[in-house]
Amino acid sequence: MEQFVTTEDVAKHFQVSIATVRAWVRKGDIPEDTYAHFGNTYRFKLSSVVESLLKNKSDADDAQLIGVSDSGSTVLIPGSGFVGEVDSLVEDLSWDAGEDV
C-alpha cells in the first residue's frame, strides 16, 4: 500500500512552492480523492496526484511546469500539448541559428 506524503513532499516532487500545492488543492487541480484532510493537515497519495495533474494538464497555468518524472526525463508543460521526453522537448525548442524565426 502506498504511503501518504505531506504537502512539502508534493512540493519537492514537482519542484514548486508549498503555496503552489495549496493553490492546486483550492482550485481543484488536485482532486479530493487523491488526499486526506484532517483539520489543517493534508496527506497526499503522490502517484494519484501525479496522474491527476497529467490528466488535467490543459486546465493548468501555461507558464508553469507541472510534472517531472522521478527519473527527470519526462515532462509535462500544460497548455503546450507537450508531454514527453526531455530530449524531444529540447529538439522541439531548438533551431538552426541560420533559420528565420
- Which range has the worst mean pLDDT, 6-15, 36-45, 61-70? 61-70
53-81 pLDDT, tens digit each? 888 765 544 435 555 555 555 565 555 55
Cα distance between residue 67 and residue 72, in whole Å: 9
**Helix locations, 3-95, DSSP H:** 7-14, 18-27, 46-55, 86-93
Neighbours of 46 (CB within 10 A): 18
